[in-house]
Amino acid sequence: MGKKLLLEHDNVPGIQGYDVYRQMGGYASVEKALKTMNPNAVVEEVKKSGLRGRGGAGFPTGMKWSFLAKPDGVPRHLVCNADESEPGTFKDRYLMSRIPHLLVEGMITSSFALGANTSYIYIRGEYYYIVRILEKAIAEAYAHGWLGKNILGTGYNLDLYVQVGGGAYICGEETALLESLEGKRGNPRIKPPFPAVKGLWERPTVVNNVETIAAVVPIVNNGGDAYAAIGVGKSTGTKLISASGHLNKPGVYEIELGLPVEEFIYSEEYCGGIRNGRELKAVVAGGSSVPILPKHLILNTAAGEPRLMSYESLADGGFVTGTMMGSGGFIAMDDTTSIVKNLYTFTRFYHHESCGQCSPCREGTAWMEKVLHKILDGHGTLADVDLLWDLQKNIEGKTICPLGEAAAWPVAAAIRHFRTEFEEFVKNPTRIKDVKHYYRLNNLPEPVM
């Protein structure tokens, strides 16, 4: 049984409310930080812990915090990124709706460490019901003196608000999120300046994922060294994995980093194997943006070592034979799955979610979707597969924000590992049965038959 830091009390009845949460040791990190530590000491503990951003990029959190500019007289802000929109990812939703106080507590401790007196939780609009859950938890925290003026008599003030988005994947990119929080379209900003220098309203700002901020609680409670002792190598601590697709037991699992992928998929403690007794075909291990891997490469690295659930092991082999930890959105596909069709759903997603600011992404995602549609519809040629490859190459690295890469990588990986399947579609055009339905599904005018 792996160690649980975030979901330790997940099954305690009433953990959603303040009283039970407090009984289970809740808000101890706030007491410890505010009463016995100075802000820099908290930052040091987070640095020691080796905690890496849990939203997808995996950037060391302590380092991100230490970049925060501290000009005199300019307020600083902490913004929690709860825009969770990466297909295959639903861990933040789980955490916020089950244990909302853990996020509130993490926000208070982290805001103290950064010297922020007003903090925001930016949550995707589709999670509107969680806004209510969080606001209730925040109201309880105010009522018990954990938020507001002069917290615990220490002179530290903090206000915490929930900000709701409007349904845009791109707002999970931190500068687009800040634009959105300022009441604008979610167009990512050109960096530098980074948010640590000029963020929300041009003030120094740190943006962290929900899970990252929640992880600060056990780090402060038990010390950074204790957190770093869990996991493997530079992948320290625990990670929430959202498991979905053709699994017997999909859901959110907290794992110790370094767990073998095979154990995660097949053991009864976790996903319990592939449903209906079928064979595993492929896995997208870290949310839709990361490269898909066929069974043999997700279970073992190219060198034949067992693949582990860690930043390093998942990335072993680069993009040729490896993938990325990403957000921990783990999508498993059985042997009935059409990789081409699955890729189409991803590419349609990125086309829909492209903000339109950079031409390579705006035009490229649309083009890739069209080409895939053509192939799926039985009208593709072998040249189209090469065209897809060219298209993704011409998006990658040519956009302001990483949505370009996120759209390009799945296409590249699907062709890299499953090229024969694309060719199969082209050579044996099994036309889908109801073309009209297909057009309607995509809001296109009726085709001339």
Binding-site ranges for other proteins (CB under 8 A):
75, 84-90, 92-94, 97-98, 118, 120, 124-129, 132, 159, 161, 163-169, 180-186, 201, 242-246, 250-252, 284, 288, 329, 331, 333, 337, 341-342, 345-346, 348-349, 352-353, 355, 437, 440-441, 443
Which pair of structure tokens corresponds to residue 286? 């870290």
Residue 347: closest CA among 268, 261, 442, 272: 442
Is the N-terminal amide bond of 360 cis, ω within 30° of 0?
no
Kindly tell me which of 62 and 250 has the beta carbon lying closer to other proteins: 250
For helices 403-427 and 359-376, give the axis angle rounded to 10 degrees. Answer: 20
Report the chain's terminal Cα–Cα distance, integer Å: 59
Rounded to a whole number of angstroms, the CA Rg of the chain reads 23
Q: How far is the CB of 276 from other proteins (least distance, A)?
A: 12
Which pair of structure tokens corresponds to residue 315? 């990335």
* CB-CB neighbours of 133 under 10 Å: 16
Report, in Å, the least distance between residue 339 CB and other proteins: 11
Residue (154 or 345) nearer to other proteins, CB: 345
Q: How far, in Å, CA of 333 to CA of 171, rounded? A: 28
d(CA 217, CA 149): 21
**CB hemisphere CA count around 122 (13 angstroms):** 33
Q: What are 40's two structure tokens?
A: 């820099």
Supply the DSSP string of 249-315, one letter for each residue.
S-EEEEEETTEEHHHHHHSTTTT-SBGGG--EEEEE-SSTTSPEEEHHHHHB-TTSPBPEESHHHHH
Contact call for residues 173 and 403 (beta carbons, < 8 A): yes
Question: Minimum CB separation from other proteins for residue 352, in Å?
Answer: 5
Min dist CB 440 to other proteins, Å, is: 5
Give me the least distance between CB of 354 and other proteins, in Å please. 12
DSSP secondary structure of 418-441: HHHHHHHHHHS----S-HHHHHHH
Nearer to other proteins, 141 or 220 (CB): 141
Which is closer to other proteins, CB of 127 or CB of 311?
127
> Whole-number minimum distance, CB 23 to other proteins, in Å?
22
Cβ closest to other proteins, residue 121 vs residue 215: 121
| Shortest distance, position 348 Cβ to other proteins, whole Å | 8
Parallel, antiparallel, or unpaired: how do β-strands 259-260 and 251-256 relate?
unpaired
Residues listed for the chain: 449
Q: Which is nearer to other proteins, 84 or 316 (CB)?
A: 84
- Cβ–Cβ < 8 Å for 8, 99: no
- Rounded to the nearest 5 degrees, what angle is found at the Cα of 68, between the Cα atoms of 64 and 71? 175
Nearer to other proteins, 102 or 220 (CB): 102
Contact residues for 232 (Cβ-Cβ < 8 A; gap 6+): 257, 258, 308, 310, 312, 313
- Both tokens of 209, joined, read 């994922």
Considering the complex, what minimum distance in angstroms separates the CB of residue 37 from other proteins?
28
To the nearest whole angstrom, how small is the minimum distance from the Cβ of residue 292 to other proteins?
10
Choose between 181 and 196: whose C-beta lies nearer to other proteins. Answer: 181
Q: In angstroms, rounded to a whole number, what is the distance separating the alpha carbons of residues 163 and 159? A: 13
